[in-house]
Amino acid sequence: MNDYDDLEKNRANFVPLSPLSLISRTAALYPDRQAVVHGDRRYTWADVFSRCRQLSSGLKGLGIGRGDTVAVMAANTPEMIECHYGVAASGGVLNTINTRLDPDTIAYILQHGEARVLICDTAFSTSVEAALKSIGDSHGITVIDIADSENASGGTRLGKMDYEALLESGDPEAEWSLPGDEWDALALNYTSGTSGRPKGVVYHHRGSMLMTMGTIADWQMPRHLSYLYTVPLFHCNGWGHVFAVTALAGTLICNRAVTPKAIYDAIADHGVTHFGGAPIVLGMIINADDADRRPFDHTVEVMTAGAPPPAAILEGIESLGFNVTQVYGLTETYGHTVMSIWQGKWDDEDFATRAKLKARQGVPLTITEDAAVLDTETGKPVPRDGETIGEIALRGNTVMKGYLKNPEATEAAFKDGYFRSGDLAVMHPDGYIEVRDRLKDIIISGGENISSVEIENALHRHPAVAIAAVVARPDPRWGETPCAFVELKSGQDVTEEELITFSRQHLAGFKIPKKVVFGEIPKTATGKLQKFTLRERIKAGEV
């Protein structure tokens, strides 16, 4: 203790960090600026804030208070944006659910998360109705319908009342209160569950606020940007961009369906300057029908995640006026935590080199305290050689509180002061991380680690291959060898032998798949390949 320690926190000098502070400021400072656009609907920041206060107050009227879960099954509509503020301001925890999930998983999430209210867009009424039926009449969940009549496609009302009626029950001037503690839960986001039941990742107010400030700095977001919401808001709260766009008094362009036409229209009609999306979205833009393309004369910044953008995609998209920044992260890290930050000294490299550099996942964000690549056995950092594979381990204020009601998984995820990502990567000499594989997807053959992603990338270069998924297959001599499951492009054909020969041009001998199986590959609701089902087929002796 010293004299400095005598000076204590008080209400004037210590305020819980929370994204809730962002919208009240922006609404006060820019009440008349356009905040949200959805079809013909338009809201200013004053409108949005007023609606969020109504929502918060309406939810309190339904009995929602601190730590109560409010589940939301919605598309990227104004209601979904409002839920990101209104639920938190009521003290509740926002549990956005992937709209593509099956009724069984939805039922699991509603029960595990103990949702007390479910706000549901009628477009998803079929699966939600089935989910509620499977839970039974005693589910005790108050259902509120979003009837997005102008832009939604059918469905039926399941609830006690419509969302607009809930707003009307609330006070547009209701007090806007911050959480008592910045460590309080803000959101509950279930993992996509590539293996087994999804886990409930809990975010806190502090983390979301810091994620916001960090993203503004790292992505260099300008004031009054126009942001198209192509990333589903049910994914890591839309990577938190809703908060950053609010802080900068930008405009959020809503979007029910991500199509090339919708993207080009938003750019041309609403001056969209920023959006996010998986490389598949970039591919859609490149391959858009001529009739769907619209001219624009500014650069559009795209944050992409989920997989490194292939060189051909990068070349195609950048020539169209888009600048791509790749990020890496997980549900457990509020979305992006590592960014492929471009270094000016690379400007003069040839295209192939630049594409390779840009395809690396990158370096820690300003708010990410550390992104290390650790030897999975010793726990020490791997050498910075671009070759030695280790596990990405993360530390910082944008790492989740933990998994809800799952102390075993929480403990396993936090080890020696790091969150273990389960992703395998190398560290390049310049400190840039490049993901190689999921930990459980690595193949160990004759003592060598083989990245299934590397083999998949090689197979993807064959013109007939649409999707390739490589997993380990037990082998009496090598322990494991790579086994490739391949979906062909329609109308294309190739034999197992041809593909193996083709691989030989691109891969070291021990990495060449020993077996190739053709057919459709099962995927999760978010489009991730379900490699565990492929492993089960091998285990069952089918392959």
Q: What is the DSSP letter of 221?
A: P
Near a copy of itself in 70-129, by CB under 8 A: 93, 114
Among 111, 397, 524, 526, binds a copy of itself (CB under 8 A): 397
Pairing of strands 363-364, 41-44: unpaired
- Does residue 433 bind a copy of itself (CB under 8 A)? no
Torsion of CA 538, 98, 457, 196, to 10 degrees: -30
Measured distance CA(251)–CA(241) in Å, rounded: 11
Which span sits near a copy of itself by CB under 8 A: 150-158, 228-236, 305-313, 388-396?
Answer: 388-396
Taking the mean position of all CA atoms in its chain, how far away is CA 316?
24
Segment interacting with a copy of itself, rule: CB under 8 A, options 52-60, 98-106, 190-198, 211-219 = 211-219
Contact (CB, 8 A) for 17 and 209 = yes
Helices (H), 445-530: 452-460, 496-504
Q: Is 483 one of the binding residues for a copy of itself (CB under 8 A)?
A: no
State how far Cα 432 lies from the chain centre.
Answer: 21
Nearer to a copy of itself, 4 or 290 (CB): 4
Q: Does 213 bind a copy of itself (CB under 8 A)?
A: yes
Identified binder of a copy of itself from the candidate list 140, 321, 431, 474, rule CB under 8 A:
431
| Residue span 235-264 as binding mask against a copy of itself, x where in contact by CB under 8 A, dash where not | ------------xx----------------
Token pair of 296 as six digits: 């624009």
Q: Which of 183, 138, 131 has its CA nearest to residue 158?
A: 131
Report if residue 37 touches a copy of itself, rule: CB under 8 A.
no
300 contacts 274 by C-beta, under 8 angstroms = yes
Residue closer to a copy of itself by CB (options 365, 389) is: 365
Residue 298 binds to a copy of itself (criterion: CB under 8 A):
no
Partners of residue 328 on adjacent β-strands? 338
Closer residue to a copy of itself in complex, CB, 279/329: 329
Does residue 363 bind a copy of itself (CB under 8 A)? yes
Q: Which of 296, 414, 510, 532 binds a copy of itself (CB under 8 A)?
A: 414
Q: Which of 275, 419, 485, 502 binds a copy of itself (CB under 8 A)?
A: 419
Contact 359, 376 (CB under 8 A): no
**Which of residues 25 and 293 has its CB atom nearest to a copy of itself in the complex?**
25
Say whether residue 346 binds a copy of itself (CB under 8 A). no
Any contact of residue 335 with a copy of itself (CB under 8 A)? Answer: no
What are 485's strand-pairing partners? Answer: 469, 517
Which of 343, 353, 495, 501 is in the footprint of a copy of itself by CB under 8 A? 343
Q: How much of the chain is in helix, strand and coil states, percent to nearest 5?
A: 35, 25, 40
For the record, the structure tokens of 154 come out as 């059918």
Secondary structure (DSSP) of 42-98: EEEHHHHHHHHHHHHHHHHHTT--TT-EEEEE--BSHHHHHHHHHHHHTT-EEEE--
Distance (Å, whole) CA 164 – CA 53 = 13
Residues composing the chain? 543
Which of 262, 341, 409, 543 binds a copy of itself (CB under 8 A)? It is 341
Min dist CB 304 to a copy of itself, Å, is 19
Q: Which of 45, 328, 418, 502 binds a copy of itself (CB under 8 A)?
A: 418
Tell me whether residue 431 is exposed, middle or buried, using C-beta atoms within 10 angstroms of its C-beta: 0 to 12, 13 to 18, 19 or more.
Answer: exposed
Binding window for a copy of itself (CB under 8 A); candidates: 99-107, 229-237, 262-270, 414-422: 414-422
| Cα first-last separation, the chain | 67
Asked if 336 is part of the footprint of a copy of itself (rule: CB under 8 A), the reply reads: no
Q: Take residue 325 and report the two structure tokens written for it.
A: 């920044």
Q: From CA 231, how far away is CA 440, in angstroms rounded?
A: 27
CB of 223 to a copy of itself, least distance (A): 6
Does position 63 interact with a copy of itself (CB under 8 A)? The reply is no
Q: Does 348 participate in binding a copy of itself (rule CB under 8 A)?
A: no
Min separation Cβ 173 and a copy of itself, Å: 15
Work out whether 388 is an interface residue with a copy of itself (CB under 8 A). no
Closest by alpha carbon to 26, among 174, 295, 247?
Answer: 247
For residue 177, give the amino acid letter.
S
Stretch that binds a copy of itself, among 55-63, 64-72, 275-283, 515-523 (CB under 8 A): 64-72
Which residues are paired to 449 by β-bridges?
444
Query: Smallest distance from the beta carbon of 58 to a copy of itself, in angstroms?
Result: 21
Binds a copy of itself by CB under 8 A, chosen from 176, 183, 510, 532: 183
Contacts to a copy of itself by CB under 8 A = 2-15, 17, 21-22, 25, 28-30, 66-68, 93, 114, 183-185, 188, 202, 207, 210, 213-214, 216-217, 220, 222-224, 247-248, 341, 343-344, 363-364, 366-367, 369, 394-397, 399-405, 407, 410, 414, 417-419, 431
